[in-house]
Amino acid sequence: MSIDQNTAARVAKLARIKVEEAALPALAEEFNTILGFIEQLNEVDVEGVEPMTSVTPQRLKRRADVVSDGNQPEAVMKNAPDAREGFFAVPKVVE
């Protein structure tokens, strides 16, 4: 399995990280090194083995579906790079 520059560009796009064209060859090479290391997993016989969903035997806890917190819009907005009138502001999304 080898990653070319197009794949590297596609992954960067999926991850929403801007990568300059010039940086793609080195990135693709790094991916290949890491994926080459991961390839060892193909040696393991995993026939009939369940993928782990929880490392401890307990199941996820449940609670009543009720409001347990809230009513603090100032605290929620406090760290926003751009907040206006109680909303997070972002560039135009819909034309």
CB of 55 to another protein, least distance (A): 3
CB 50, min distance to another protein, A: 6
- Contact between 28 and 6 under an 8 Å Cβ cutoff? The reply is no
Contact 82, 89 (CB under 8 A): yes
C-beta of 59: minimal distance to another protein in Å?
Answer: 10
Q: Which is nearer to another protein, 56 or 71 (CB)?
A: 56
Q: Is the CB of residue 35 less than 8 Å from the CB of residue 16?
A: no
Tokens of 61: 């806890």
CB nearer to another protein: pick between 22 and 60: 60
- Does the CA dihedral 70-74-79-83 come out positive or negative? positive
Task: Please report, as ranges, the residues that interact with another protein according to CB under 8 A.
Answer: 3, 7-8, 11-12, 14-19, 27, 30-31, 33-35, 37-44, 46, 49-56, 58, 60-61, 63, 72, 75-76, 78-82, 88, 90-93
3-state secondary structure of 14: helix
